[in-house]
Amino acid sequence: MPFHEQGELRYFTLSTFDRQGVKHGFFTRKGGISPQPWDSLNVATSVGDSRENVIENRNRIMALFGKRYDSIFDTWQIHSDIVYYSETARPILEPHQKGDAVMTSNPDVALMMVFADCVPLLFYDTQKKIIAVAHAGWQGTVQHIASKTIHKMKKVYGSQTSNIITGIGPSIGADHYEIGEDIVKQVANSFSFDGNEDKVLIKRDDKIYFDMWQANKLLLEKEHVASIEIAGLCTACDTSNWYSHRAENGTTGRFAAVLTVEHE
């Protein structure tokens, strides 16, 4: 699970995906042109940064994969359980579809989703060469978007779960993710299967914390995927590398998780 540096860019990859030769990366905030408080590799226009900065930052990331900005398929993320598939990139001037997971079989398409504490989930079908990325905040997690992404891969592409490797990327760790009673109830209800609510809700000093890494791991285990790799990197612990909505009080950028496959 190494960090890599290419020029000014710094990004993290998952060992299981590296061994499969799958091009991917969780890009830190380093190596872009955005000013504070989005410094510097912000990839989202929804946070106040300029469109010009975001396009340049995305272009820098895509160049690392030998692709252009217009090869990206992404969505307008809304903390849902909506999953899309596409064999073409999203035209730059076309409005985003609203949803929180994307997939493709086209090596000319790069999947991108943006994060600042929520959990990036990566999926790769090693036999059919299908890729998917999901955005799982607490809402997506309690709606089981991890499971629904796999179900969509099976329905659309005929994937078998025994061939799907998965990864849980940099995101807020349980120690920093205190939640209120309203969310506690939703989490407990969502993870009541096999008595798992006590595995994902951590009680300490009269406070309750949500372990989204463990929650998504449980969902993936339930689907019997081939492997699950957890990055174990907390965004709230390391704002020198990652954007963190909670640690930075909501004023920050978004980092990119990118996944693509090469032509055979």
To the nearest whole percent, how much of the chain has pLDDT over 70?
100
The answer, yes or no, to whether residue 182 has pLDDT greater than 90, is: yes
Extract the tokens encoding 244: 């963190």
The structural domains of the chain, ordered by start, are 3-173+228-260 (3.60.140.10)
Statement: residue 93 has pLDDT above 90: no
> 1 falls in which pLDDT band (50, 70, 90)?
low
Q: pLDDT exceeding 90 applies to what percent of the chain?
A: 94
| pLDDT tens-digit series, residues 210-238 | 999 999 999 999 999 999 999 999 999 99
Gap between the Cα atoms of 210 and 187, Å rounded: 8
Which pLDDT does position 104 carry in this prediction? 98
Q: Nearest to residue 89, comparing CAs of 264, 260, 263?
A: 260
For residue 91, what pLDDT is reported?
85
Residue-wise pLDDT tens digits, 23-45: 999 999 999 999 999 999 999 99
Whether 239 has a pLDDT exceeding 80, the answer reads yes
Q: Is residue 110 a contact partner of residue 72, using CB atoms and an 8 Å limit?
A: yes
**pLDDT at position 128, please?**
97
Does the pLDDT value for residue 86 go beyond 90?
A: yes
Amino acid at 215: A
Tell me what the pLDDT averaged over the chain comes to.
97
The answer to whether 252 and 38 are in contact (CB under 8 A) is yes
Q: Examine the pLDDT at 158 and tell me if it is beyond 90.
A: yes
**pLDDT tens for each residue of 39-77:** 999 999 999 999 999 999 999 999 999 998 899 999 999
Residue of higher predicted confidence among 92 and 37: 37
Arithmetic mean of pLDDT, 172-180: 98
Q: Which residue in 113, 114, 116, 115 sits closest to 244, CA to CA? A: 116
CA–CA gap between residue 141 and residue 81 (Å, rounded): 9
Count other Cβ atoms within 10 Å, centred on residue 193: 11
Indicate whether this model's pTM tops 0.95.
Answer: yes
State mean pLDDT over 101-127.
Answer: 98
pLDDT at residue 95 tops 90: no
